[in-house]
Homo-oligomer: A and B are copies of this chain.
Amino acid sequence: MTQDDKAIGRRVTLEEVARMAGVSRGTGSRVVNGSPKVSPDARRAVEEAIARLGYVPNRAARSLVTRRSDSIGVVFPVPTARFFGDPFFLLFLNGIGTALALRGLQLVLLMPQSGEEEQRLERYVAAGHIDGVVLTALHGDDPLPERLAARGVPVVVNGRPPRGAQASYVDADSRGGAASATAHLLAQGRRKVATISGSLDMPAALDRLLGFRDALEAAGLPIDPSFEEVGDFSQEGAARAMHLLLERQPDLDGVFVASDSMAVMALGVLQSAGRRVPDDVAVVGFDDQPIAGTTRPPLSSVRHPIEAMSREMVRLLLHSIDARDRLPRQVMFPTELVVRESSGGLPVKRS
């Protein structure tokens, strides 16, 4: 019976729950929504009926009156295709998804493939089908955050938004992390240190390059463009970049790579070119993804807390939704260099 009640299609409504509990729909609603103004008796009766009938509130009906969709959008602008080799996105998605699920919110994935689709997305979101939006992997000229914000849609960006747009964002201290990675290489006595960067129209990529230069400058070394190559955050790009660097600077002795997935490729290219790592060339990556601990040799890398950052993004977004204020807020997370064998440094206890 309980069986049957829960079975196929039998949509059970609050009305039925209330009837079974011997109360009114109103009281039923109050129980469901955790209102304090309900007598213990009524609450118990309703809860029991809910369990018995397997009642789950109808989202559409609720949305209609609350004017909330209880779902938030995550936007990947998909010329992002090149990132498909990068686990970052799934880790990120996973972090956001978990944080949302905890609050009973839905994650709607939006992957506009073109400018046209991006416009449709904009109208769609502006129409109120989504309570707020998380943006990531933005490129330099993407007007999306500003446009959405202008339409009154709560927005939180992953990473400093391009063009200094006024938006809430959560970022990791990429520049500082890159600088400490590079400084670490220099501290090992490396003097011909190169870098493979991401797409420079992405703030995170740019920051990592700037951090690299910061460290060189701090050490009194010159900035030499022939030691810099764009890897584009793709594995293909990384391989190409590593080859180019080796060609131009055959005796380079250190490389800072702007992502672990690129670093893995760089490692491979170095090794097939006969370089020993770290003996001939020391390598440091960025992201400290699981794979870093398992390459040969294990990869030193800059860690940034993806989980914590995605949680914070959700927190900011929900706050912005609740408070109905649109004051942009920024949160910066520190990064941390994790030293392993690839950089020739003393491996720290953390594996």
Known pairs A8-B151, A11-B128, A90-B90; A64 contacts B60 (CB<8 A): yes
Query: In this assembly, does A123 line the interface, its C-beta being within 8 Å of a C-beta of chain B?
Result: yes
- Assign chain A's interface to a size class: 35 or more
Question: Considering only CB atoms, which chain B residue lies closest to A67 in the complex?
Answer: B11
A84 adjacent to B78 (CB under 8 Å): no
Q: Are A239 and B295 in contact (CB under 8 A)?
A: yes
Q: Is the interface of A mostly helix, strand, loop or mixed?
A: helix
Complex Cα–Cα for A54 and B204 (A):
36
A54 pairs with B268, CB closer than 8 A: no
Q: How many copies does the complex hold?
A: 2
Chain B residues within an 8 Å CB radius of A85:
85, 87, 261, 289-291
Partner-B contacts on A (CB < 8 A):
6-9, 11, 54, 56, 58-61, 63-64, 67, 69, 71, 74, 78, 81, 83-85, 87, 89-91, 93-94, 97-98, 101, 106-111, 113, 117, 123-124, 126-129, 150-152, 234-236, 239-240, 261, 264-265, 267-269, 271-272, 289-291, 293-296
Top-6 shortest CB links A-B: A56-B127, A60-B63, A8-B152, A236-B294, A84-B87, A268-B268
Would you list 10 pairs from A and B whose C-beta atoms are within 8 A, ordered by A residue? Answer: A8-B150, A8-B152, A56-B124, A60-B60, A64-B64, A71-B108, A235-B294, A264-B268, A268-B296, A272-B296
